[in-house]
Amino acid sequence: MKSHNIAIFLTAWLAGWLVAGAAAAQEQDLADELAAAAALVEKVLGPIEQYAKANPEPEPLPEIDFEAIRLQAQVDRTRYEQVISDLELDSVGSYNPILTEAYLNLAGTLEVLGMLEEAGTVYDKALQSIRINNGLNSMEQIPILEELQENSIAMQDWEKVDRFSNLAFHITRRNFPIGDEHRVRALDELGQWKLRAVRDELTDRYQQFVRDTITMYSSERELLEAMPDYDNKGIHLAVLHLGEAKAKLAIAQQILDRPLGDFGTSGQQSYTTQVCRMVLLPNGSVRQECETVEIPNIDYYLNPSARKNQEISSNLQDIRRSIGDAYEQLQKEGDLAQRNALLAEMQNLTNAYNTFVTENAL
């Protein structure tokens, strides 16, 4: 809104109001009132003009020259490849830390050129170079592993995403003790990835993924519960409880989707019996006639259904307990921002649980 337009509007409105007042009372000097109105407009308009001067409208962004970026990337690629070739021929070879940086620069350039597979190969070389220089469990690998994860996601290579995610957690666990923020965060990131892979059907090993996730969360939780109290322990335990509950909900969905045949028994689906009836013959006598008939075994069909419902019910009970435990931990002192975020996450999980139970009449 322009300040000039605001001034015109306010002046006109105040003038109209004053004219009406003069016609009614005829005791006011219209000129003085108009001057007072102008002063009032200036008083109102001043801050608006100051704000407009302090906050000018942003200029439109310049158009991106993608062709120029592509041409520059091609030049950079040639340059980085030459640097790598020279370094690899050097006597230091793979032990030169500069080689790792050159690999990373080349990989990023290849991604700009859309050469994702080639970029992944170069990122892997950078990872191996870091491991040679800094050791198999060095934390310097984590940024490269994150790049490899993103690269694999872009190529939809989910097995590689899982491999790099597991390796990142393994390295973090080796570097940080139980209860450390880095360790808890890395574990939760791995758990969230595995649950996403199950939810979005990115793997055909969904049962293994979910059970591995439950084991991972529960094992870390048990180790953490045995530790003395420390700042944010309640926050960390809540993270693990909620992760375990999410995995249990995924298990419940898997059980629900499985056919009843998976819960069958070794018994027979049916059994045979003799059914007899009396038949009146033409001569007036009566004779008993019997035949063998097949009758469904009701227990065969009821038992699988009962077992299926029992497994679902057991997981739902575990989910309720985990959510309750998480809530209890969040009542303790801890980082306020993390606490609020986890409370929101707990509410979302509770809603998902209620939806699952309601939609499936459980």
Q: How confident is the model at residue 2 (pLDDT cuts 50, 70, 90)?
A: very low
Residues 6 or more apart whose Cβ sits within 8 Å of residue 275: 290, 291, 292, 293
Burial class (CB in 10 A: 0-12, 13-18, 19+), 262: exposed
φ/ψ of 116, rounded to 5, equals -70, -45
- Total Cβ atoms within 10 A of residue 134: 14
Q: What is the tens place of the pLDDT at every residue in 318-328?
A: 999 999 999 99
Q: Are residues 218 and 341 in the same domain?
A: yes
Which segment, 29-43, 248-262, 337-351, is predicted with the most confidence on average? 337-351
Burial class (CB in 10 A: 0-12, 13-18, 19+), 141: buried
Q: What is the tens place of the pLDDT at every residue in 186-208?
A: 999 999 999 999 999 998 888 88
Q: What is the tens place of the pLDDT at every residue in 42-74?
A: 665 566 666 666 667 667 767 788 888 889 999
- Give the end of a domain, one of 14, 39, 54: 54
Range of the structural domain that residue 75 is part of:
60-175
What's the CA gap between 229 and 292, in Å, rounded?
72
Beta bridge partners of 294: 272
SS3 287: strand
Is pLDDT of 231 > 60? yes
Q: Count the domains in the chain.
A: 3
Q: What own/partner pairs with CB < 8 Å and gap ≥ 24 does 34-39 have?
A: 37/11, 38/11
Beta bridge partners of 56: none
- Nearest CA-CA partner of 223 in 210, 240, 209: 240
- Give the end of a domain, one of 54, 69, 88: 54
Is pLDDT of 269 > 50? yes
Q: Are residues 359 and 333 in the same domain?
A: yes
pTM score of the predicted model: 0.70
Query: Which has the minimum average pLDDT: 80-84, 114-118, 332-336, 345-349?
Result: 332-336
What's the CA gap between 190 and 203, in Å, rounded?
15
What's the CA gap between 202 and 197, in Å, rounded?
5
Q: What is the tens place of the pLDDT at every residue in 80-106?
A: 999 999 888 875 666 778 899 999 999
Average pLDDT, integer, range 15-43: 58
Query: Which pLDDT belongs to residue 166?
Result: 96
Is pLDDT of 131 > 70? yes
Q: Are residues 142 and 44 in the same domain?
A: no
- Total Cβ atoms within 10 A of residue 71: 11
Q: What percentage of the chain has pLDDT greater than the value 90?
A: 56
Position 280 in a domain: no
- Nearest CA-CA partner of 133 in 169, 171, 95: 95
Q: Are residues 115 and 258 in the same domain?
A: no
Q: What is the tens place of the pLDDT at every residue in 156-169?
A: 999 999 999 999 99
Position 300 in a domain: no
φ/ψ of 47, rounded to 5, equals -60, -35
Q: Are residues 143 and 210 in the same domain?
A: no
- Give the end of a domain, one of 175, 198, 230: 175
Find tokens 């909900």 and name the residue: 249
With both helix axes pointing from N to C terminus, report the angle between 97-112 and 116-134 in degrees, rounded to the nearest 10.
170
Is pLDDT of 301 > 90? no
- Chain mean pLDDT for the chain: 84
Q: Are residues 142 and 234 in the same domain?
A: no
Q: Are residues 185 and 169 in the same domain?
A: no
Position 237 in a domain: yes
